[in-house]
Amino acid sequence: MIEAPMNVYARPQFWWRAAMVAVGVVGLLTGNHRIHFFTTQSNLIVLGYYAGVLYWMARRRTADPAAPRLRGAVTLWIMITCLVSHFVTNHGENPLPGLLAGGVAGDPATLLANRSIFLLHYVVPLMALADWAAFGPHRVVPWRNLPLWLLYPLGYGVTSVLRAVLFPTAPNRYPYFFLDPTAHGYGWVFLQLALLGAGFLALGALLLGLDRLVSPRGAAVTAPATAREEPAGSDHETRVLPGA
């Protein structure tokens, strides 16, 4: 029996992910975001991954994303952007007043910049987190993948320090204060990276725990095969979604 192809455009997953990509594009285009900032890199990763997911969903007629294990890493990295920005660099300051302050002060450029930062630091991360919790597949990422998720953010910190050493006249030599050894030395910098790494590990564990909490206990929900039976004589290849 031939199954009717799935209408992915009727699925909330597709439009939620399309909105996430749109928000990220607007955020990046309306601010001054240099590539050596983790905020810029992590948002570009989100855009690239979910743009690919949208193409995959439309092409394969499936509601599930490609490379679901990678989705966990992408979610962790963009949540790092949100939490480090809010608690470490902004010391927990409420970002909402800044969305109006620029206009009140008669500076539209400041208002636009604040809104751009808000989209990239808060809206995109929270949309990615909601996607991770609300949409499957769940329970496809093993716990052993968690240490691999940390390679990028910790590698970013190390390479940022090397960039400052190799190119001392580069703009924004130290993109974040906790990477700057000027006052406390390199030992302090690497201690900060170790502490952040422990926090990232805990955050990744929380994401994996959330992934298991929102799916039935003991059920391993994987990306289903979406291949459709073809009529006899069809020259179309039968395709099955990979699990990762």
Whether the pLDDT of residue 107 is over 60: the answer is yes
End-to-end CA distance of the chain: 28
pLDDT digits (tens, 9 = 90+) for 145-192: 999 999 999 999 999 999 999 999 999 999 999 999 999 999 999 999
pLDDT digits (tens, 9 = 90+) for 123-152: 999 999 999 999 989 999 999 999 999 999
198 vs 195: CA distance, rounded Å: 5
pLDDT digits (tens, 9 = 90+) for 13-54: 999 999 999 999 999 999 999 999 999 999 999 999 999 999
Cis before 137? omega within 30: yes
Whether the pLDDT of residue 216 is over 80: the answer is no
Where in the chain are the domains?
Answer: 8-213
